Amino acid sequence: MIFSIAKEEREIFTIIEEEATKLGYPAFVVGGFVRDRLLGRQTKDMDIVCVGDGIKLAEAVASRLNPIPRVVFYSRFGTAMLKHWDIEVEFVGARKESYRQDSRNPDVEFGSFEDDQNRRDFTINALAVSLNQYNFGEIIDSFGGLRHLEEKIIITPLDPNRTFSDDPLRMLRAIRFSTQLQFDIAPKTLASIKENKSRILIISKERITTELEKILASPKPSIGFNLLFDTGLLQLILPELAALQGVETKKGKSHKDNFYHTLEVVDNLCKKSDNIWLRWAALFHDIAKPPTKRFEPEIGWTFHGHEALGAAMLPRIFKKLKLPLDHKLKYVQKLVLYHLRPISLTKEQVTDAAIRRLIFDAEEDLDDLLMLCEADITSKNLNKVNKYLEGYELVRQKVKAVSESDRIRLWQPPITGEIIMDTFKIPPSKEVGIIKTAIREAILDGNIPNEHDAAFELMLQEGAKLGLKRG
């Protein structure tokens, strides 16, 4: 089968083919680029494997491009990278890897193209396109990846136990691809993840978090988090979240399963927002429910203070996941801390002061907070859902009304009482107030611009109406 090469790629593919031929290296486009193109997904990174020195090939290709790009080396890995237009092209020599039990860092040696294909994680990531003269553009499918793309299935090219024990990060990658592409993981591959799950502990937190973040950035993250839980990986990498799972019943009273509730909230939110930090906030909004859970015979299950404890737990969780400890953490903490506040404002007769406090506390993140609150409605009872939604709409209206009246209250017109008193040589009096109000109303109604000269002119007119003369 021939790969359909887009117009904008033909130039670089042809140059790679010509330079690789000169150097005597067989060359191929491999991995994610081929997969994503066949699926019609956007890709910005392209991996080129050659049987030879990847750095030499990168330099030869760069010298042919216009403008000549800078080539970045990673000599330790024998890779080189250049950027052409907005595509990042990475060059690497074909290699063979062997792994030791205690580390994910492989011993690398040069290998054949087949060796290189064998170390790929999934069949859909082991497709390659030839950049060689004799079969330029032909798809090389050593493990049935084309069929698996069609069948929407994630499966390892070799025995999954070997693939996963060689590099346990691949277990997370399987779940991440399953979430991004909405593909199933083949039963044997999935069983092997369960079996090898504890090997994940040798992987660095940064790499784990990168995969978690990609799951969270997908259209329906619950697919991934359910798989993480079912395979037992979540219990190892984020036990605080796994602890939300389960329902307890006492004296005929049960609470909801807070894990599945959380995943529903995350999915709901993802339909409304791409903001990854808001998505983290949704994932963590009930994180302190397990440690605050109490059974009170009169009321049933309660989780008093889970919002404050949740916010307090976040710095440790962020640190563990190597997430940033800056304003992004503060933002997520703020949303977790206040996620119950808007609902309380839909219930009682709410004072302006309570609304003002919400505006003050949430600052510029108030819209995001309300979005989180709306996503938090997971009731299956449509009447209840509508009641909550109306409540939040009312909160939004009150926020608007209070902000507007505050703006007017705090707003200073260009002509002050002192100027009026000084101009007409009058003491503080009712007339000063009448003139000030007339100026403010004229500006708010848009009859005069909010400027000194126009306001001064109007002051003189209003003064004349009151029989005042300029002193």
List residues binding ligand ATP (CB under 6 A): 31-32, 45, 47, 119-121, 125, 167, 169-170, 173
- Per the listing, tokens 């101009």 go with 423
Q: 290: part of which helix (H) or strand (E)?
A: helix 289-292
Nearest-angstrom CA–CA distance, 332 and 217: 16
Name which of 128 and 395 has its Cβ closer to ligand ATP. 128
Binding string to Mg ion for residues 31 to 50, with x set by CB under 5 A, is what? -x------------x-----
From the CB of 92, what's the least distance to ligand ATP, in Å? Answer: 9
Residue 361, contacted partner among Mg ion, ligand ATP, none, CB below 5-8 A by kind = none
Name which of 44 and 294 has its Cβ closer to ligand ATP. 44
Q: Is the dihedral of CA 101, 106, 110, 112 positive or negative?
A: positive
Question: Can residue 315 be called a binding residue for Mg ion (CB under 5 A)?
Answer: no
- Order of strands across the sheet that contains 139-141: 72-74, 79-84, 87-93, 45-50, 27-30, 127-130, 139-141
Residue 291, contacted partner among Mg ion, ligand ATP, none, CB below 5-8 A by kind = none
> How many other C-beta atoms lie within 10 A of the C-beta of residue 7?
6
Nearest-angstrom CA–CA distance, 342 and 127: 51
Name which of 119 and 197 has its Cβ closer to ligand ATP. 119
Residue number, nearest CB to ligand ATP = 32
Residue number, nearest CB to Mg ion = 32
Burial 313-323 (b: 16+ CB within 10 A, else e): bbeebbeebeb
Residue 69, contacted partner among ligand ATP, Mg ion, none, CB below 5-8 A by kind = none
From the CB of 233, what's the least distance to ligand ATP, in Å? Answer: 15
Nearest-angstrom CA–CA distance, 194 and 160: 11
From the CB of 97, what's the least distance to ligand ATP, in Å? Answer: 9
Name which of 206 and 441 has its Cβ closer to ligand ATP. 206
Q: Is the dihedral of CA 271, 272, 274, 278 positive or negative?
A: negative
Residue 211, contacted partner among Mg ion, ligand ATP, none, CB below 5-8 A by kind = none
From the CB of 314, what's the least distance to Mg ion, in Å? Answer: 31
Residue 167, contacted partner among Mg ion, ligand ATP, none, CB below 5-8 A by kind = ligand ATP
> How many other C-beta atoms lie within 10 A of the C-beta of residue 416?
13
Nearest-angstrom CA–CA distance, 201 and 54: 32
* Segment lying near Mg ion (by CB under 5 A), choices 26-34, 220-228, 242-250, 461-469: 26-34
- Angle at alpha carbon of residue 332, lines to 329 and 337, rounded to 5°: 120
Burial 157-179 (b: 16+ CB within 10 A, else e): beebeebbbbbbbbbbbbbbbbb
Name which of 44 and 357 has its Cβ closer to ligand ATP. 44
> How many other C-beta atoms lie within 10 A of the C-beta of residue 195?
15
From the CB of 90, what's the least distance to Mg ion, in Å? Answer: 9
Q: How many residues bind Mg ion (CB under 5 A)?
A: 2
Name which of 212 and 420 has its Cβ closer to Mg ion. 212
Name which of 47 and 307 has its Cβ closer to ligand ATP. 47
From the CB of 216, what's the least distance to Mg ion, in Å? Answer: 18
Name which of 214 and 398 has its Cβ closer to Mg ion. 214
Distances, alpha carbon 97 to alpha carbons 55, 109, 262, 338, 358, in Å? 19, 6, 40, 50, 57
Q: Can the peptide bond before residue 315 be classed as cis, meaning omega within 30 degrees of 0?
A: no
Residue 116, contacted partner among Mg ion, ligand ATP, none, CB below 5-8 A by kind = none
Residue 121, contacted partner among ligand ATP, Mg ion, none, CB below 5-8 A by kind = ligand ATP
From the CB of 244, what's the least distance to ligand ATP, in Å? Answer: 28
Residue 52, contacted partner among Mg ion, ligand ATP, none, CB below 5-8 A by kind = none
Span 179-238, contacts to Mg ion by CB under 5 A: none
* Nearest Cα residue to 329 out of 306, 341, 342, 312: 312
* Nearest Cα residue to 368 out of 466, 249, 278, 302: 278
From the CB of 308, what's the least distance to Mg ion, in Å? Answer: 41
From the CB of 318, what's the least distance to ligand ATP, in Å? Answer: 23
> How many other C-beta atoms lie within 10 A of the C-beta of residue 379?
12
Residue 339, contacted partner among Mg ion, ligand ATP, none, CB below 5-8 A by kind = none
By three-state DSSP, how is residue 296 classified? strand
From the CB of 32, what's the least distance to Mg ion, in Å? Answer: 3
425: its two tokens: 């040589």
By three-state DSSP, how is residue 127 classified? strand
From the CB of 214, what's the least distance to ligand ATP, in Å? Answer: 7
Residue 365, contacted partner among ligand ATP, Mg ion, none, CB below 5-8 A by kind = none
Residue 170, contacted partner among ligand ATP, Mg ion, none, CB below 5-8 A by kind = ligand ATP
Contact 402, 352 (CB under 8 A): yes
By three-state DSSP, how is residue 138 classified? strand
- Interaction site with Mg ion (CB under 5 A): 32, 45
